[in-house]
Chain A
Amino acid sequence: EPEVTQTPSHQVTQMGQEVILRCVPISNHLYFYWYRQILGQKVEFLVSFYNNEISEKSEIFDDQFSVERPDGSNFTLKIRSTKLEDSAMYFCATRGDSYEQYFGPGTRLTVT
């Protein structure tokens, strides 16, 4: 069964550093999403991406964040200058023509 994959599974970085989180969507899916889950809290929407542009973003997704699909297969989330409060589990999700979203296993980001 096709799966969404994410790399790395765990990323430790120092405050102020840039990080790039990677996602490989299910092959025929065209809608991509990033969510995050701070430890012990609910899953929160960050951004959605379709047809090579952002279709929607939340108030969390400020200028420190960016997304792109650099090569037609990967879907990336970049955090330009990480802060302590960016520590969270980041989930990529993708969907096809139906409405259910399939989530990857997540990347745990730890900012020290």
Chain B
Amino acid sequence: AQSVTQPDIHITVSEGASLELRCNYSYGATPYLFWYVQSPGQGLQLLLKYFSGDTLVQGIKGFEAEFKRSQSSFNLRKPSVHWSDAAEYFCAVGARDTGRRALTFGSGTRLQVQP
């Protein structure tokens, strides 16, 4: 069964600083990979996705993520964080080869941005 680990429950960064949120997955092959963001009381917004090809993918709001097969990781990065980025971030995986399309989510990382 696939699983997702987000080792950091809570991260605090200063506005303007760079950010990296970690995501590791367990799956027999290369899954589909996603990052979603959830602002307080809101739904889940898709930030970016990886299906195949270039392992560095660009998303909305200046975010990017890099797929590293050797490390089973899909870390999310942003070079300069804005106060509006404060939210919870979820990494998710979907099976590629079984037809199962339900997403498995990590536990999330709550990002706090200091002025």
* Chain B binds chain A: yes
Q: Please determine whether A91 and B51 come into contact, CB atoms closer than 8 angstroms.
A: no
B74 CB–A CB distance under 8 Å: no
Interface string of A30-46 (1 = CB under 8 A from B): 01010100000111110
B49/A99 in contact, CB under 8 A: yes
Choose one: A33, A42, A100, A105; the contact of B49 (CB below 8 Å): A100
Nearest neighbor of B49 in chain A, beta-carbon distance: A100
Instruction: Determine the residue in chain A with the shortest Cβ distance to B43.
Output: A105
Q: Smallest Cβ distance from A40 to chain B, in angstroms?
A: 9
| B25 in the interface (beta carbon within 8 A) | no
User: Counting CB contacts under 8 A, is A87 at the interface?
Assistant: no
| Contact indicator A103/B49 (Cβ below 8 Å) | no
What total count of A-B pairs have CB within 8 Å? 54
Contact A102 B102 (CB under 8 A): no
Q: With the chains together, A104 CA to B101 CA distance in Å?
A: 17
- Measured between beta carbons, the chain B residues less than 8 angstroms from A102 are 46
Count of chain B residues with Cβ under 8 Å from any Cβ of A? 22
Of B15-23, B79-87, B103-111, the one touching chain A = B103-111
Distance in Å: Cβ of A66 to nearest Cβ of chain B? 18
Q: Say whether chain A's binding surface is mostly helix, strand, loop, or mixed.
A: strand
Q: Is the CB of B94 within 8 A of A48?
A: no
Q: Is B67 engaged at the interface, CB distance under 8 Å to the other chain?
A: no
Cβ–Cβ contact B44 & A91, under 8 A: yes
24 contacts between A and B (CB under 8 A): A33-B103, A35-B103, A42-B105, A42-B106, A42-B107, A43-B90, A43-B103, A44-B105, A45-B104, A56-B101, A91-B43, A93-B103, A95-B101, A99-B32, A99-B94, A99-B101, A100-B34, A100-B46, A100-B49, A101-B46, A101-B101, A103-B36, A103-B44, A103-B46
Q: Spell out A's residues near B (CB within 8 Å).
A: 31, 33, 35, 41-45, 48, 56, 58, 91, 93, 95, 99-106
Other than A45-B104, A99-B94, A103-B46, give 18 A-B pairs with Cβ distance below 8 A: A31-B101, A33-B102, A35-B103, A42-B90, A42-B108, A43-B90, A43-B103, A43-B105, A48-B101, A48-B102, A56-B102, A91-B43, A95-B101, A99-B49, A101-B103, A103-B36, A103-B44, A103-B45
